[in-house]
A and B are shown apart, each in its own frame.
Chain A
């Protein structure tokens, strides 16, 4: 977890999701995805 996230709207526009407090980076996020060394998040939109 790099402290932020993105979502795509129906047209593919990116919507950035940021914290209202400090931006906290976690080596492994709450979904089990690692920041480094793993596949990361996959863009399933194409």
Chain B
């Protein structure tokens, strides 16, 4: 039977199963993302990816870890606040490379009590932690007006000819227990971050979080289904 081609983003609800557990990093296993399986697409090439579900992992790769995605950020202070305060990451390691004029900050969703105190152990811990984001700051970009980096999603930042650039990068992804509850909060946080200048928005965000905590202490979890639940 010919299957109807569907957009790539039409993920199968029933296929959102199969929890990927990072055996070598039990401290993050409980929060590891679900593997998403795309609805099989009938393409003109007739490509069927199903064999990769059951393919034996090459023995030489058994200790490999999908450890990081790197993104360049304009201002690491602002980005660290976002990833740590809005999305619940922690800084697990950072390194400065003055000879190359950049600094890297690795963030991950881990128990902060497990993050070592000294830089060498932090490096080792970081390199064994799946799903880190490496925030790379090139010196001086924080002083550049406007956007510095192209997001890959059809924007004109960095374009040489004024045309939008459709880059390879798409997005990062997190999973949450309840997207609807999350979005009720996220839209508010997102609005604060976007409509205000960074410092002002972060002050307001902090104020919002304090208010939310105060509200949370006054109301039970069931009293308001739309009560913001974002941020660990």
Binding site for B on A (CB under 8 A): 1, 3-24, 26, 29-31, 41, 44-45
Binding site for A on B (CB under 8 A): 11, 13-14, 16, 33-34, 36, 71-75, 78-79, 82-83, 86-87, 147-149, 151, 153, 155, 157, 169-184, 186-187, 189-191, 193-195, 198, 225-226
Please give, as numbers and ranges, the residues of chain B lying within 8 Å of A8 by CB-CB distance: 190, 193-194
B148 x A11 contact (CB < 8 A): yes
Closest to B78 in A: A10
> Main SS of the interface on chain B?
mixed
Docked pose: A37 CA to B183 CA in angstroms: 20
Docked pose: A25 CA to B184 CA in angstroms: 16
B195 x A21 contact (CB < 8 A): no
A13-B151, A17-B174 provided; 14 other pairs, C-beta below 8 A? Answer: A5-B179, A5-B182, A7-B86, A9-B172, A10-B82, A10-B198, A11-B148, A12-B151, A14-B153, A15-B87, A17-B176, A18-B175, A29-B180, A30-B183
